Structure 1
Amino acid sequence: MSQTPELRAVSPPHSFDELHDPQDGAAEAVQAVAKFLRVVYYRRSYVITCVVVSALLGGLYYYRASRVYAATASLLITQTGTDILNSTMMPNAQQDALIPTYERLFSSAVVLDGAIQRLLKSPAEARIDLAGLPRDKWIDALRANLSASGLRRTNIVELNYRSKSPHAAEAVVDAVVDSYIEFMKENHTDVSVEIVSILEKERVAKEQELQAKQQEMLSLKRAVGALGTEGSTTVVHPMVQRVITLNNALVEVQQERMQLEASLGAVRMAVRNGSDLRQHMIDLEPLVGRQLVMSGLGLSPEATDLVNSVERKLLADRARLDTARDYLGPTHPEVQELVRNIRNAEQHIQEFQANVNRRLDGVQSEQMAPMLLGMVEERLSKTWELEADLEREYVAAEASAIRLNDRHAELSIVESQVQRLSNVHDMLLDRIANVDLNSEGGDVRVSMVNEPKANERPVSPRLALTGILSLIGGLGIGCALVYVMDLVDDRFRSPDELRDQLGVPVLAMVRRLTVAGNEGAESLQVHVAAGAVESEAFRTLRTTLAFSGQDLQRIAITSSEPSDGKTTVLTNLAVSYAQAGKRTLLIDCDLRRPGLTKLFQLRGVAGLSDILRGNDEVPAMCEERIQAAGVDGLDVLVCGPKPPNPVELLTDSRFVDVIAWAETHYDQVLIDCPPVMAASDAAVVGRLVDGIMLVVQPEKNHRRLVLRAAEQLLSMGVNLIGVVPNRVGDDSSGYYGGYGYGYGYGYGYDDGYGMDEEDEDDIQTSASDSIQPRRAA
């Protein structure tokens, strides 16, 4: 016991470790969740109430909600036509790119209007979802309950409709499917059929013109007789040959012009009808040229020429590879080189075609119409100009040839015209024949996979889903309510909550004291009513400290804020130690507002401040200033005159000597400190003793303030022994009750802790006389 204490950082044995050891974000999150779960557990009655109410509301909703049924059908959509521009693209990729378009068509106004026309022919039950709605809202009503989705990596589209009746759902799905199939047949039949009528009219006109020219040719032959064309030595005059050449060129230009006119008419008709223009672009490639189509898609002619060159080289390399494999092995350098060249060429062509496909897919319908019309009109304009030029040159050459060769030239010209008209007529016949052949089937085929069928069990409301949502909603609202209540009511509601959140034990719970007003020792509960139930709390506190497993000869006490009753707790604990036969010393280290000095009415008596500011030997000064407390075995060292610099005095080595002297002369040393949040004195003293107790008044102290007080003590290395709830009522069935206290600080923070000298005289005591101070024996 003679060892002198030193300033040291005591490592607390209890929790609040997060205040000392750095924690990562995950650990802090886990601690926050655990803390919130404890709060939810303490207020579980609110959560249970919210869950019950939510369940009742969910049950009411399930009972009163209208039943909704669903019917589903599956359709297989396949593309049978060939896309010239996408010739190197895999068929599945082409179909996958078009599936989203086919899905959107189900909710289009055209398809839904066709479905409504079919529903009007069905029984009234099939239109139960449209009852009471104006006619112009029917399409919106169907669209709101209709959904179409494509199955991943398949060409199957599932169509789903929700209705008040299962039979109505089946009828609507069946009507939509029929309308959709009819729309696809009308709009996806080969678009070349639209050109047939135009080509047929042109063919009839050319046939009549051809017949007239043939009659003219026969008349000329009869008039001039047989012209010299026998054998292979026939010589034709250059002028006649030029006429023939111009005539052939004119024939080709006219053929191209007629095809362009027919295509232009078909495109304009498709634009007016709102048909798909992709097939038109495919059909126009031979007419306007692949270069122009590629330019319309933003691809340069050089890129197209490069691809054509690569394709030619690819064919040559494949032929060389087939020849080389006949006499060279697969590992031969020449064979490997050819294989690499072929692989690179194929990859280049595929990348080019993929680029073409992306650009083609990126062109919207509203963009494609003017682009197609522009390309055809531009090509047609150039063809007209070329035809006019050739016509002029042909007329001039024809006149010269006629003048030169007279009837012979005229006959040759007529024969050329007949040949030209015959070629045009044959071309038109071939074109019409091809169109008729392609128009036998559409590019897109739609077939039913699963017939429309409705489930007799409603899809909404579902009992399991309603129950789960009610439970989740009740828990969510309950937890939110608990969180708000926890923010509003920022107090400790039970000893368990106090222990769990502070992480230190609850040493004892002190009830509200009812001692009548006497000064000095007569105002101490344990002294005047040792057998009362209120006094038992201090004996419990003494026992808890004795069996804590720590050497707690020097104990300090503090609180988070004034008026928490720490001085009352300390003095009654000191009396319980004295009654147990231990020589006990009370030291008033509250040099700012010495509550212990006021309790024993020893104001103006020399005390601790004199010792700390003096120059004499500490033991001798302590012996002179020890006062008897009026209880056997209990002495007190009062504050003395209030110093202007309390912290500097408490950090001086003389205070260490005071504690060392007290430790050698008393069995138990109890020190009263200022509140933690008011000054740092408590932390300074706490580092010099074996431990410090924190007094909490649950009905008064805010939780966050108490937590900050404990955090401040632990952050400075003070051994926080535990907490002592003070002024606890016994009327709350396990929760803290009212205030009910006896003595404590009677002021707040408004004027600053310990700053007003005159406040000492304002503190009223319940005594009429003071205990006369005496020296300790």
Structure 2
Amino acid sequence: MRDDHGEASLTEILHLRDYWRTIRKRLWTLVTAFSLIVGSVTVVTLLTPPVYQANSSMQIDPPAKGPYGGIEMLGQSGSGQYLSDQEYYTTQDKKLRSRVQARAVYDRLGLADHDAYRDLDQPIDVLLEQVVVERVPKTRLIWIYCKAKTPELSEQICAAWGEVFVERNLKEINQGVQDGLAWLDKETTKAELEWRSAETELLSFRREHNQISLSTDEKGHVASQQIEQLSLDKGKAEAELAQREADFATLESALRMQKDPIRVASLIGAEELATRFEEAASELDGLRTTFGEKYAKVVDAQARKDGVERQIRAKAEAELGRRQSTRDQAQGAVTEIAATIEQITSEALSADGPQGEYNLLVRKVEACQEIYDQLLSKKQEMAVTASLKENNIRVIDPAEALQDAVEPNYARNIAIAIAMGLLTGVSLALFFDYMDTTIKTREEVEALGVDFLGIIPSVPGLVGDSWELARERYLYSYKYPKSAFAEFVRNIRTTVNFSAREDGKPPRRLLITSAGPREGKTTSSINLGISFAATGRRVCLVDADLRRPSLHHAFGLDNEHGFSSLISGASTPDQVVQATPQEGLFIIPSGPRPPNPAEVLGSEACHRALDRLNELFDLVIIDSPPVVAVTDAVVLSAHVDGVIIVIKSFKVARDLVLQAKRQLTDVDARLIGVVLNDFDIQRKSYGYYYYYTYYGAERDEVTKVRRTDKQ
């Protein structure tokens, strides 16, 4: 268990190191993305005009029931039931956010002439975006937040928002109270007339029977008591009938006269539909002012308004039918009570004569007076309520603007920009590294399933494609044997020496190739040959690139006779082998180009020529064409002890190297490993910088020499 845990921890550390190495390698990508994002956000933040905020709070209490017993205030709830608290507060919240509310504030403050709104196409929409309404959970409080370009304007908008809403609510309450007063006035007058009529009838009865002093001690009479109670019940039933008739008549009149849909919606308790109609109407008015009647947006807004109006009318028609049914029920109750009173009265009259009739008339007067007194009391209470102008909505905290701007928030914006810059920079660095399929590091070489033999570093001052620079690179380890370049070549030499053949001895015949062209295989071949020759071995460099030879250019030799001549038998080894400035190092140029290079290199004659060279030299290094381009290298791989692939860092894609590896392994070639050429060891992200600086005493020597040559 410990070993598994240790291996897992080590794997995680290695992955983290890979990420860190990638970030360091792509540091400029990260820095660029970070700088652009942070810089852009900083500039935008500094150039953004300040925004100020004002706050106020309101308390919305549940609406009070009507102050006259079971009789409702007209317009509160046509269904006879009050809205639940949740529905009520949801409705008020939507009203606070409605376009009607915004339009009222806009008109009150005269914002059409204000600089901040004068040139806007949709000022109401902008105003709504500047106001935030937030209800405090589990309370009756609502906070209003208003933002504007100046503290004064934000405070004005916030204050007007609360004032307008309070006034609108009070207006709705007063409308209901006035409706109630009108109904009570009508019913009180009617009850007074009935009371006066009953008294007149009683007085006439007394005069008719000359019984001014008839006894009224018969109040305990059962019939009189029944009639008294039924008269009271009849009065209540008639009041209920009057209310139902008023409800029905009011709604019927509103529908027949096609009154304001908002008024109709309020009569049936459809507050949400009323709010939606207000918003649709306000939006339509604004669009008409801006675009005209036939604009597409105006047509759509008109359709939305008409649709809400149809919903209100449909719901009102259904409510009218329900009210008609309840009115008929109330009428039936009144008729039934009246019939009962008439029956009891008739029975009492036949039983008691004038005294019974007298008692009934007295009870009737008393009942009518009691009904009149009740209605008069409710009317007086209603009048007091109307004069008090009570409102269930009030402002708690008056609007007050914050003196410091709430936007832009410099600290927050910069912090977010820094976080986004780092995240974007790291993401881009990892993305670009993922998309970059070129071989750059030892780890990427080993990920291909081949051994890593070492690197041949790039030389400062020798970057370019000219033959002059190429010759300098070819012989660099010969001219500067103490340079870091030469040391890295010696490391490769050591690794190759340890790659024993099947008989356990170091390889005596090496093929150096590449996946694609211009990857530095010739530079690697020459410098590796110089390094082997420096150990006292006799080394022969063979230019087997019969298509594009280059070894003879490196040493300034002629190419009249060479490897092709040796294979064909036209020349002997003594005629084609040429000495070099490096002791122990000899070269054989390519010679004349044959018409069929692949067939020549794959022939038995080529094999015999290489065997002959191994008799004369300790090590034969063959510089061949690229593997993928032509089949020459694959053919030659059958005649050597090992193959070395040279890869130019940051140039060759993984797929190309894998293809070269596949072509060689398909013919059972012995692949020793890969050399990473033209590697920039000054890139600290790759971990070689320390070694470069340690061995780099002569790394700038070539630059000094080139400057001297130019002078």
- On the 8 A contact 1:148/1:158 being kept in 2, the answer is yes
Deviations 1:480-532 (A, max 9, x none): 999999999x898xx9x666876765333375687699xxxxx9889999854
For 2:241, give the aligned amino acid.
R
Which residue is 1:454 aligned to? 401
Which residue is 2:200 aligned to? 215
For 2:172, give the aligned amino acid.
N
Which residue is 2:323 aligned to? 379
- On the 8 A contact 2:474/2:523 being kept in 1, the answer is no
Counterparts of residues 672-751 of structure 1 (less than 5 Å): 672=623, 675-678=626-629, 692-696=644-648, 701=651, 705-711=652-658, 720-725=673-678
How far residue 443 of structure 1 moved from its aligned partner, in angstroms, is 6.9
For 1:507, give the aligned amino acid.
I
The gaps in structure 1 that reach 5 residues or longer are 1-22, 85-92, 121-125, 283-363, 518-522, 608-623, 729-733, 735-777
What is the CA–CA distance in structure 2 between the aligned matches of 1:468 and 1:690, rounded to whole Å? 58
Deviations 1:512-565 (A, max 9, x none): 687699xxxxx9889999854699798445312135597244455332323444
TM value normalised by structure 1: 0.52
For 1:73, give the aligned amino acid.
S
- On the 8 A contact 2:512/2:525 being kept in 1, the answer is yes
How far residue 723 of structure 1 moved from its aligned partner, in angstroms, is 0.8
Pick from 155, 158, 164: which aligns with 1:179?
164
What is the CA–CA distance in structure 2 between the aligned matches of 1:548 and 1:175, rounded to whole Å? 86
Is residue 2:455 matched to residue 1:506?
yes
Pick from 536, 545, 564: which aligns with 1:581?
536
- On the 8 A contact 2:93/2:133 being kept in 1, the answer is yes
- On the 8 A contact 2:544/2:563 being kept in 1, the answer is no
Which residue is 1:285 aligned to? none
What is the CA–CA distance in structure 2 between the aligned matches of 1:399 and 1:95, rounded to whole Å? 47
- On the 8 A contact 1:51/1:475 being kept in 2, the answer is no
Counterparts of residues 385-464 of structure 1 (less than 5 Å): 387=331, 421=368, 425=372, 428-429=375-376, 432=379, 444-449=392-397, 451-464=398-411
Cα distance, 1:50–1:457 mapped onto 2, change above 3 Å: same
User: 424-433 vs 211-220, which deviates more?
Assistant: 424-433
Counterparts of residues 471-486 of structure 1 (less than 5 Å): none
Counterparts of residues 610-629 of structure 1 (less than 5 Å): 629=577
- On the 8 A contact 1:187/1:276 being kept in 2, the answer is no
Deviations 1:745-773 (A, max 9, x none): xxxxxxxxxxxxxxxxxxxxxxxxxxxxx
Cα distance, 1:507–1:143 mapped onto 2, change above 3 Å: same
- On the 8 A contact 1:697/1:725 being kept in 2, the answer is yes
For 2:393, give the aligned amino acid.
R
How far residue 108 of structure 1 moved from its aligned partner, in angstroms, is 4.3
How far residue 165 of structure 1 moved from its aligned partner, in angstroms, is 3.2
How far residue 102 of structure 1 moved from its aligned partner, in angstroms, is 4.2
For 1:506, give the aligned amino acid.
I
Which residue is 1:290 aligned to? none
For 1:630, give the aligned amino acid.
Q
How far residue 212 of structure 1 moved from its aligned partner, in angstroms, is 0.7
Cα distance, 1:689–1:279 mapped onto 2, change above 3 Å: farther
- On the 8 A contact 2:457/2:680 being kept in 1, the answer is no
Which residue is 1:773 aligned to? none
| Secondary structure of 1:507's aligned partner | strand
- On the 8 A contact 2:455/2:488 being kept in 1, the answer is no
- On the 8 A contact 2:493/2:531 being kept in 1, the answer is no
Which residue is 2:284 aligned to? none
- On the 8 A contact 1:506/1:722 being kept in 2, the answer is yes
What is the CA–CA distance in structure 1 between the aligned matches of 2:586 and 2:409, rounded to whole Å? 75
For 2:327, give the aligned amino acid.
T
- On the 8 A contact 2:170/2:391 being kept in 1, the answer is no
How far residue 168 of structure 1 moved from its aligned partner, in angstroms, is 3.6
What is the CA–CA distance in structure 2 between the aligned matches of 1:658 and 1:414, rounded to whole Å? 151
What is the CA–CA distance in structure 2 between the aligned matches of 1:413 and 1:645, rounded to whole Å? 144
What is the CA–CA distance in structure 2 between the aligned matches of 1:135 and 1:528, rounded to whole Å? 76
Cα distance, 1:661–1:269 mapped onto 2, change above 3 Å: farther
| Secondary structure of 2:403's aligned partner | coil
Which residue is 1:561 aligned to? 516
What is the CA–CA distance in structure 2 between the aligned matches of 1:513 and 1:280, rounded to whole Å? 91
What is the CA–CA distance in structure 1 between the aligned matches of 2:412 and 2:140, rounded to whole Å? 32
Which residue is 1:205 aligned to? 190
What is the CA–CA distance in structure 2 between the aligned matches of 1:443 and 1:212, rounded to whole Å? 41
Pick from 543, 564, 570: which aligns with 1:603?
564
Is residue 2:27 matched to residue 1:75?
no
How far residue 216 of structure 1 moved from its aligned partner, in angstroms, is 1.8
- On the 8 A contact 2:169/2:391 being kept in 1, the answer is no
What is the CA–CA distance in structure 2 between the aligned matches of 1:266 and 1:430, rounded to whole Å? 24
Which residue is 1:749 aligned to? none
Counterparts of residues 9-158 of structure 1 (less than 5 Å): 37-38=23-24, 40-42=26-28, 50=36, 54=40, 57-58=43-44, 62=46, 66-79=49-62, 81=64, 101-108=91-98, 111-112=101-102, 115=105, 119=109, 129-130=114-115, 133=118, 142-158=127-143
How far residue 724 of structure 1 moved from its aligned partner, in angstroms, is 1.1
Deviations 1:43-94 (A, max 9, x none): 6785587479748845xx73x654433332333444374899xxxxxxxx97
Deviations 1:393-450 (A, max 9, x none): 978996999799788798898778667755754664575577678776857332323x
Counterparts of residues 226-237 of structure 1 (less than 5 Å): none
Deviations 1:295-330 (A, max 9, x none): xxxxxxxxxxxxxxxxxxxxxxxxxxxxxxxxxxxx
| Secondary structure of 2:537's aligned partner | coil
The gaps in structure 2 that reach 5 residues or longer are 1-10, 71-82, 271-307, 447-451, 500-505, 553-558, 682-688, 690-711
Deviations 1:134-173 (A, max 9, x none): 8998756644533333345554433333334333433343
- On the 8 A contact 2:476/2:527 being kept in 1, the answer is no
Cα distance, 1:666–1:444 mapped onto 2, change above 3 Å: farther
How far residue 202 of structure 1 moved from its aligned partner, in angstroms, is 1.3
For 2:170, give the aligned amino acid.
K
- On the 8 A contact 2:598/2:631 being kept in 1, the answer is no
What is the CA–CA distance in structure 2 between the aligned matches of 1:143 and 1:513, rounded to whole Å? 68
What is the CA–CA distance in structure 1 between the aligned matches of 2:523 and 2:120, rounded to whole Å? 85
Which residue is 1:259 aligned to? 243
- On the 8 A contact 2:53/2:405 being kept in 1, the answer is yes
What is the CA–CA distance in structure 1 between the aligned matches of 2:321 and 2:60, rounded to whole Å? 35
What is the CA–CA distance in structure 2 between the aligned matches of 1:634 and 1:200, rounded to whole Å? 130
Query: What's the % identity of the aligned pairs?
Result: 17
How far residue 209 of structure 1 moved from its aligned partner, in angstroms, is 1.9
Which residue is 2:491 aligned to? 544
How far residue 681 of structure 1 moved from its aligned partner, in angstroms, is 8.8
- On the 8 A contact 1:217/1:415 being kept in 2, the answer is yes
Deviations 1:363-397 (A, max 9, x none): x9996886467436423345337737975997899
What is the CA–CA distance in structure 2 between the aligned matches of 1:244 and 1:35, rounded to whole Å? 103
For 2:455, give the aligned amino acid.
V
Cα distance, 1:159–1:714 mapped onto 2, change above 3 Å: farther
Superposition CA RMSD, Å: 6.8
The number of residues matched between the two structures is 567
For 2:675, give the aligned amino acid.
G
- On the 8 A contact 1:130/1:138 being kept in 2, the answer is no
Deviations 1:6-35 (A, max 9, x none): xxxxxxxxxxxxxxxxx99x999x899768
